[in-house]
Structure 1
Amino acid sequence: MATHRIYRMSFGSVYPHYITKAEKKGRTKEEVDEIITWLTGYSQEELEAQLEKETDFETFFAEAPNMNPNRTLIKGVVCGVRVENVEEPVMREIRYLDKLIDELAKGKALEKIFRKDT
């Protein structure tokens, strides 16, 4: 299954693409890291350790210390799919992260990305 291949991909192999996408739009690596730590509860040091270990997506989300409960407020379309309608749990977490990075690249303020105004 194609979906299972995504789970087995190293989070660290995709991470540079998140950074590149943000930086092309004038955003920073630090903002990307802030989004990831907000979503997962990893500290900066824990995030860096996950990147070094080449942790796959499934493990990355399974080992997350504190998945943010406000992530369920993330709505919208990523890759033609509404994130709130993704039933498979790991894929939904991946799409939540994708959506947050998209919002960052589109210039949205971090407060809005973090759903602080809802």
Structure 2
Amino acid sequence: MKIKLEYPEGATPLDPNEIGGLKYKHITTQGELDELEQANIASGLRWLARMRRKDILTDDFAIELHHQLFGDIWKWGGHLPKDRKKHRRRSDPDRCSAAWPDGRCSVLGRA
């Protein structure tokens, strides 16, 4: 699959293995990918709004939420990364409200 992706400065490009994790093989541009991801995230947020669970601060809930937000588009949605360090955000002073000493980025409370 050939996807023509353009990345803003400081963004981490998707490698071929990550692109292989897409469930939709017709995607050819970053814009198409962004639209599908946004629709999946909106669906996941609607799911979250209907939740009545009290045990949301658990690994199981976080994994289920991840699946709801990304699982329709990506094969890895709802699965823990094998290499957690690789998935850590790096700070970008223009986009981060706070940066951790190890370079993680906190945007609106997300690390």
TM over 0.5: no
Q: TM-score, normalised by structure 1?
A: 0.29
Higher helix content, 1 or 2: 1
Q: TM-score, normalised by structure 2?
A: 0.30
Larger radius of gyration: 2
